[in-house]
Amino acid sequence: MAEPTHAATGPAPLSGGEGRAGVWTGATVRRLLPSDAIPAITGLLHRAYARQVAMGLRPLAGRQDDAVTARRVQSGECWVAVDQAGAIVGVIILSEREPDEGPPFFHRAGVVSFSQFAVEPSAQRGGIGRELLGRVAARARELGNSELALSMAEPDTQLRDYYLAKGFRIVGTWKWPYTNYTSLIMSRALRERGGSGAGLRRRLDGCNRDGARENHGV
């Protein structure tokens, strides 16, 4: 998996999230459908990863074409957030399978990663990122996993600190062949003592509060 071609994150479908001005977004989180437009997802990714591109980084999600987007969303379990007008405003892939071997940590028993995580910049801070992460975390638990991992650009210290604050820890580094930077590999236990996922849910709550952080991986 790649740094986001992997990167990695419920409950019932998202009924909405509180936006910047206290307005509910009314977005719904669901699995990707065959009828969903791949170019729309590619455009969303380019906009969401533009901040890292402006830093001089070359995340795959920030420059991939429609063919790569189609391959990636079909290689794992892709979830999208759709607004009331039917537009895709968020995307995330759980357990993406890609050509590259990926970091050893991703291959450990009980570990699953998420990737290609992004929220439309104009829809950020509205609860969408939190719901996408919550959905994949719940699915990861359902599939019997104990760790949720991700890959992110090491130079993006803002994003690193954000994940650290949410309970993720750094477990290693990796160099994807299609990026120009080293990636941090981070992971978070899906279950607290006693088998409860409440702690993870609390840490994921508000994941969308900083729009610049609602993108992850390559």
CATH number at residue 200: 3.40.630.30
Mean pLDDT over the full length of the chain:
80
Q: Could you tell me if residue 89 is inside a domain?
A: yes
Q: What is the pLDDT of residue 215?
A: 58
Structure tokens at 181: 């930077």
Per-residue pLDDT tens for 144-156? 999 999 999 999 9
Q: Could you tell me if residue 91 is inside a domain?
A: yes
Residue 115 domain boundaries: 28-216
Q: Could you tell me if residue 183 is inside a domain?
A: yes
Q: Is this structure's pTM higher than 0.85?
A: no
User: What is the tally of structural domains in the chain?
Assistant: 1
Q: Could you tell me if residue 19 is inside a domain?
A: no
pLDDT at 10 over 70: no
Q: Angle at which helices 38-48 and 66-75 pack, to 10 degrees?
A: 100
